[in-house]
Amino acid sequence: MNLAKLPELNENQIKLLTLINIRWVAIIGQFVTISIVYFYFKFSFNIELCYLLVLFSSAINILLQIRSKKTDLLSNKQATFSVIYDLFQLSGLLFLTGGLTNPFSIFIVAPITIAAGFLSIRSSIQIGFLSILLIIILSIFYFELPGLETNYLFPKFYILGLVLALCTSIVFLAIYSKRLAMESSQRNDAFNILQQILLREQELKSLGGLAAAAAHELGTPLNTISLVAKELKKEIGTDKKFSQDLDLLISQSQRCSEILKQISKNPYGEKEHKFLDKSSFRILIHEIVDSFKDLSEKKIILNENDYQKDYLITKRIEIIYSLKNIIDNALKFSSKKIEIFLLSNEDGLKIKVEDDGIGFSNQVLKSLGDPYINKKNLDNSKEGLGLGIFIAKVFLERLSANINFYNLKDKGAGVEVLWQKKDLINLKLI
């Protein structure tokens, strides 16, 4: 069961309790500020209406806290109305205390920042336009800032500058926050798929162990069946009525023995998964390359001229899956062939996969390593170039590998994976 696909976890929803706690912080701050300005600094303004707005927010918060559970999540619509209310409440306080000339008018950009990070694009746009509209209204209609004399009134061009500054901040923060939220959402989706792949590989490994155990246990009764059938055939002799059936029984038991023997040697059922815990890196690459020869008609050239030192490396699922993914992508985008270079020395080892295709476009080359850069492939199969490369990059970088993408001078693209020997030792891969 994939928890990421549950409706309540599939969006950037806000916990109601979180919103309540944030509002309590705002309410306490507003109450303290109003009280200090009025009672300590002796500024004259409509404190009754200001307290009424704060009290109304407190009543709403108390009601929500009584009727809600700690685990309640707000839908996009509910969160939108909540943010809009906070925006109007803050605007009401600013209207009573100087409008944009109030130093606390900067807080009017807070609702759009929250909306852009957690709400839909439509809701974010609505709250953004509403914030700009309220800023314009507060620049024209408001009670004068308490405590200022006539000669200290703000000139109109200063108020206009505040309007432009706040509107610009709202647009910038909205775009910036929404962009970060979208990238975070994409990466979370990709990591969920990555987790599913790892679980599937681990399940295959466990299933392979069970298959090997089953093959071992079934070997003895099958040998017994075959032995009894051969003895019966000796007793019956040349009686055609039974000898043909016995021959069929013997041949089928032998076939079952061969199948079980193959499973016990290769419990995963696929040639490319025939791995031990430790293996030569060269053999590992040969095994991966062999798994593609029956699946692709394109030519795969393995160049080992610069492979000077062979490393005995741990066969991690992450390494195998990532290298297979890189080679598979190279085959998909190549014209006729790909070439794999194995390089190693005393300092480390390197593998390069190059194809003879059209190469990476400049736009794709800049975005490689991010999930879902290929929108068309994402819509069709959910496992396009962007996701595959993203998974491979994450896996390899977690194992201290450096991965680079480049275009060849003549034609084609290349991927280079490099491990330093010290990193392999630290991770106990060798």
pLDDT per residue as tens digits for the range 201-214:
666 565 555 666 66
Residue that the structure tokens 């706690």 belong to: 21
Percentage, residues of the chain above pLDDT 70 = 77
- Report the C-alpha gap between 388 and 393 in whole angstroms: 9
Residue that the structure tokens 């979370």 belong to: 188
Amino acid at residue number 67? R
Structure tokens at 139: 């620049």
Residues 123-181 pLDDT 10s: 889 999 999 999 999 999 988 876 555 445 677 778 888 898 888 888 888 888 887 77
The pTM assigned to this predicted structure is 0.53
Average pLDDT of span 226-253: 76
Distances from the Cα of 402 to the Cαs of 7, 67, 307, 398, in angstroms? 37, 53, 18, 10
Q: Residue 199 above 70 pLDDT?
A: no
Residue that the structure tokens 């089928």 belong to: 252
Predicted pLDDT at 13: 64
pLDDT band at 33 (very low <50, low <70, confident <90, very high): very high
Pairing status of strand 348-355 against strand 337-344: antiparallel
Task: Write the burial class of residue 258 (CB in 10 Å: 0-12 exposed, 13-18 middle, 19+ buried).
Answer: exposed
Residues 352-369 pLDDT 10s: 999 999 988 887 787 776
Q: Residue 90 above 90 pLDDT?
A: yes
Cβ pair 86, 111 in contact under 8 A: yes
- Report the C-alpha gap between 309 and 421 in whole angstroms: 11
Chain center to CA of 128: 28
Structure tokens at 416: 């280079």
Distances from the Cα of 334 to the Cαs of 74, 126, 353, 387, 428, in angstroms? 48, 47, 11, 19, 35
Spell out the residues 6+ positions from residue 271 whose beta carbon is closer than 8 angstroms to its own.
287, 290, 291
- Among 348, 333, 361, 337, smallest CA distance to 416 is for 348
Average pLDDT of span 363-381: 59
- Phi, psi for 344 (deg, rounded to 5): -160, 155
Structure tokens at 400: 């201290």
Average pLDDT of span 293-304: 87
Q: Residue 268 above 50 pLDDT?
A: no
Task: Write the burial class of residue 373 (CB in 10 Å: 0-12 exposed, 13-18 middle, 19+ buried).
Answer: buried
Task: Write the burial class of residue 68 (CB in 10 Å: 0-12 exposed, 13-18 middle, 19+ buried).
Answer: middle
Q: What is the 3-state secondary structure (H, E, C) of 331-399?
A: HHHCCCEEEEEEEECCCEEEEEEEECCCCCCHHHHHHCCCCCCCHHHHHHHCCCHHHHHHHHHHHHHHC
Cβ pair 342, 303 in contact under 8 A: yes
The secondary structure element, H or E, covering residue 244 is helix 240-265
Residues 42-89 pLDDT 10s: 888 889 999 999 999 999 999 988 887 766 778 888 889 999 999 999
- Report the C-alpha gap between 206 and 208 in whole angstroms: 5
pLDDT band at 269 (very low <50, low <70, confident <90, very high): very low
The whole-chain average pLDDT of the chain stands at 80
- Report the C-alpha gap between 123 and 83 in whole angstroms: 10
Spell out the residues 6+ positions from residue 39 whose beta carbon is closer than 8 angstroms to its own.
none
- Report the C-alpha gap between 76 and 7 in whole angstroms: 12
